[in-house]
Amino acid sequence: MSNQKDGGPAFPCSENGTSHTIAMAEMLQLPETASTEEKDKIYIQTKANAMQGMSLRDYFAAQALQGTLASPQIKGNSDLDNWRYADFAQFAYSLADAMLAARSA
């Protein structure tokens, strides 16, 4: 999630207690027969993911989707009547990519 194409983390978590709690909860879902190595691997991966947060691209896409769907022009627009959810999602990520490109220009 930290590569340049997605803008890096939008809301990285620096609070250790929360990420530890998330990682412990995930690790405790493993079967009792899981090895210490398996538990350590799950703990480390989950904690790292929890501390990264969502990517900036995901955040931009979520904001674009929210604005698009809230727009009065969307309601009753016959051109959009045949759009599926996937079409709106692709549109939102296209806007997010444009925002990332403009940001690095």
* Range in 1-10, 68-77, 91-100 with the lowest mean pLDDT: 1-10
- Give the predicted TM-score (pTM) of the model: 0.59
What was the pLDDT predicted at 2?
42
Task: Please provide residue 75's backbone torsions phi and psi, each rounded to the nearest 5 degrees.
Answer: -70, 125
> Domain locations in the chain?
4-52, 56-104
What was the pLDDT predicted at 71?
81
Q: Is 61 within 8 Å of 6 (Cβ atoms)? A: no
Rounded Cα distance between 38 and 32, Å, is 11
Average pLDDT estimate for 17-42? 92
Q: Is 3 within 8 Å of 55 (Cβ atoms)? A: no
